[in-house]
Structure 1
Amino acid sequence: MYIPSHYQITDTKAIQHFIQSHPFATVISKDKQGQMLATHMPVLLHEFGDQLVLSGHFAQSNPQWQTVDNEDEMLIIFQGPHGYISSTWYEQEDVPTWDYQSVHVYGNSWLTDAAETKEDIIALLNTFEDEAGARFENLASDTRKQIHGIVGFRISIERTYAAFKLSQNRSTTDIEAIIEQLSSHGNQALADAVLHNSLEPEG
């Protein structure tokens, strides 16, 4: 991913927080014929000792799971709020652009066994369900059996690239206008991201 230096994020904790806040990712891998495959899915971040690991699962009918465990790295893309920035919002004429947040993670992958897959599914449900919700222990036995229709995997994080392009190159007046316009156009998530980023201390 091409990242101009003023949009690059290197703070590990900030990247981890972003991944946890935007878990619906695009998982990309290559099969033995060199064909690129991609699946959109929730992916969770785990800390196993000093190693950061991502976990997810494919439907058993999805052939992409067969690309796991080969010698090629997998790429996982996490996308945050994004949107069009009109240059009419600036004090002085310039070109329009697009603000966005994106994290690319590269790592080595492996398939999980039945116990690990169950562990990761329980973690996934516990993340998004409250105690009275559709957690694994609350499901009927017939429903639990559907776990046999998925293939779990984990990826050890080896390289991470993060780009937060949030109008950092604009003046304070322009940023205030961008936030106001994004809010009025219904893109509050991006407006909040631009505001938060503008309040972050440099360096």
Structure 2
Amino acid sequence: MFTPDIYKNENKEETHTFLKENSFGILINQTEGKLCATHIPLELDTNNKGLSVLQGHISKENPQWKGFTDNDAVLAVFSGPHSYISSSWYDHENVPTWNYIAVHVYGKIKIVEGEAVIESLKKLVDKYEKNSENPIRVEDLSKKTMLQTRGIVGFEIEITEIQATKKMSQNRDDSNYNNIILELEKTNKKESIAVANEMKKCPR
């Protein structure tokens, strides 16, 4: 991912937090000479070797998984808030642009089986059920329901590189920067307000 130096986010802790909070990503690989992409939750974790990994699963009916053993190189793409930035918000003539947060994770994928798949599912369900009024636990599901796990392929991606972009108008002076925030808030659009909030957190 091309990122000008001014927009690179090299804060590992911040990037890991972003991945945990925006875990619904796009898994991309090559299967039988064709690029494939699937939108799925990819959960950041640490494996038994102490290495950072992404864990997930896809349907066995999805042919993408058949390429995991032929070529283990994969890319996972994660997106955060984004918004159009009008150049009419500046005190000088310029071109419009877009503010956004994105993280690309490169790694090597391997298929996991047996109890490792169940443990991955437990973590996934617990994470998203914790605020439910009547939370579901994998441990409480019947054997009949758990038979559905036969229809998925679990995997683990050992992370080899993370590229993080946080483009939040860092190239603007304080006056224009603050005005962009005000204009974003005035749009009353959820994504634009989220960008404004991110801009408020950026060091100046």
The runs of at least 4 consecutive aligned structure 1 residues that moved more than 6 Å come to none
Q: Deviations over 1:78-112 (max 9, x none)?
A: 11111100001112121100011111111111001
Matched AA of 1:147 = T
- Quick check: 148-157 or 70-79, which moved more? 70-79
Structure 1 residue matching 2:176: 3-state secondary structure: helix
**Shift in Å, 1:166:** 0.6
1:154 match? 156
- Quick check: 134-143 or 98-107, which moved more? 134-143
Counterpart mapping for 1:109-188 below 5 A: 109-130=109-130, 132-185=134-187, 186=189, 187-188=192-193
Matched AA of 1:145 = L
Distance 1:140 1:182 in 2: 49
1:189 match? 194
Structure 1 residue matching 2:17: 3-state secondary structure: helix
Distance 1:55 1:16 in 2: 14
**Shift in Å, 1:116:** 0.9
Counterpart mapping for 1:54-73 below 5 A: 54-73=54-73
**Number of aligned residue pairs:** 198
**Shift in Å, 1:53:** 0.6
Asked if the contact 1:30–1:72 (Cα under 8 Å) also holds between the matched residues in 2, the reply is no
2:83 match? 83
Counterpart mapping for 1:30-49 below 5 A: 30-32=30-32, 34-48=33-47, 49=49
**Shift in Å, 1:72:** 4.2
Structure 2 residue matching 1:94: 3-state secondary structure: coil
Alignment CA distance shift 1:28-1:183 (3 Å): same
Task: Report percent identity of matched pairs.
Answer: 35
**Shift in Å, 1:188:** 1.8
Asked if the contact 2:72–2:110 (Cα under 8 Å) also holds between the matched residues in 1, the reply is no
Structure 1 residue matching 2:38: 3-state secondary structure: strand
Q: CA RMSD in A?
A: 1.5
Q: TM-score, normalised by structure 1?
A: 0.92
Structure 2 residue matching 1:9: 3-state secondary structure: coil
- Quick check: 184-193 or 162-171, which moved more? 184-193
Asked if the contact 1:99–1:165 (Cα under 8 Å) also holds between the matched residues in 2, the reply is yes
